Amino acid sequence: MSTDDAYLVGLRLAGKKVVVVGGGTVAQRRLPLLIASGADVHVITKAATPVVEALDGITLTLREFRDGDLEGAWYVIAATDDPAVNAAIVAEAESRRVFCVRADIAIEGTAVTPATLDYEGLSIGVLAGGEHRRSAAIRTAIREALQQGLIAEAGEDAPGVIKGGVALVGGGPGDPELMTVRGRRLLAHADVVVADRLAPQELLAELSPDIEVIDAAKIPYGRAMAQDAINNVLIDRAREGKFVVRLKGGDPFVFARGYEEIIACAEAGIPVTVVPGVTSAIAVPALAGVPVTHRGMNHEFVVVSGHVAPGHPESLTNWDALAAMTGTIVLLMAVERIEQFAKVLLEGGRPADTPVLVVQHGTTTAQRVLRSTLSEVPERIRSDGVRPPAIIVIGPVAAFGA
């Protein structure tokens, strides 16, 4: 048999006996999918890896292969490390008219295992004439194309795409490759995109010209009506029967007012899908070489919005408690008022030499990193001309990566 002339078919193996001979790493890779298919899986092997031994859903027999072991089998995999044993398994399978995969020499079996993927209800298999690296590479490329929306499914039938609905999508910290694959796929299916200024702009440039892109920052409104105006746009476009993606930077529920939009859509009877995003509060420090937690150094980290000053009537932050803690403080939207934040933390007991990391335009090609201390960081931010968006990390971990 040549793998070039293999006939691709999907087998429904639920409840049917499948025999796998061999318990090494090859069998270990094949068994999970067989178990997931509902097959009655029998593994015969002289020795099994710890992973194979621990698998639920198989019947494991620890001995050598014998004639008659394939009795009643619908499908067989020969995966031992002995070519003679594998040949004997194939021979018995052929005599019983049972298809058999020979893992060591594919062309000598009567079936070939493709490189497979399952994606949103699709099962895809790739054969490349026995060139396993090639089939695996093509399989991976197909998965990435589906995830990025480069291979389009029927619009309203695609999972998560609801005509007359809204998807609230976190765009991640800035680098388009850090957006979730689900978010990217839904973005590719949008009829309308309402985007924040911190959403990945490169992805907007890739959208089809027939997709309406609305810059949320340019929606006409009075200062107090900003969120109401955005809510109204989402609702109006959805009521027109369109699939609307509300694209935000970071995660839509981390200081992004995402839940306000959920409430507004729910009250209007508009269905909403939420796609979490990678929050800049953690990702930006990480990519600058700073973990927000580290064993033996801190047991907590706090993410704080700096959109109002300490002591402001609308402030909900206990700055005295923050000053007293020894862990990590991540300040968002804090550049404008950094003098006030540093002052209240110093007055509350934070040491003046506490390390501080400032990252402007994190994860993008325009990223800038500034390192300082709590007492000196306000002056450094002003002298270096740091402007929003920027993440400020305060605590011992900020000294890493220096």
- The token pair at 136 is 């695996």
The count of residues in the chain is 402
Question: At what angle are helices 258-267 and 226-239 packed, to 10 degrees?
Answer: 50
The residue type found at 341 is F
Q: Where are the alpha helices (DSSP H) in 148-251?
A: 181-188, 201-205, 226-239
CB 93 within 8 A of CB 35: no
Phi/psi for 41 (5° steps) reads -95, 125
d(CA 352, CA 378): 12
Beta bridge partners of 164: none
- The token pair at 224 is 């107090």
Phi/psi for 322 (5° steps) reads -65, -40
d(CA 269, CA 164): 10
CA distances from 5 to 95, 129, 131, 304 (A): 22, 8, 14, 61
- The token pair at 382 is 């002003």
* DSSP category for residue 56: S
* DSSP category for residue 389: S
CA distances from 116 to 29, 34, 326, 329 (A): 12, 12, 49, 44
Q: Which residues, other chains included, contact 36 with Cβ-Cβ below 8 Å and sequence gap of 6+?
A: none
d(CA 22, CA 104): 12
* DSSP category for residue 225: G
d(CA 235, CA 153): 25
**Catalytic annotation, residues:** 196, 218
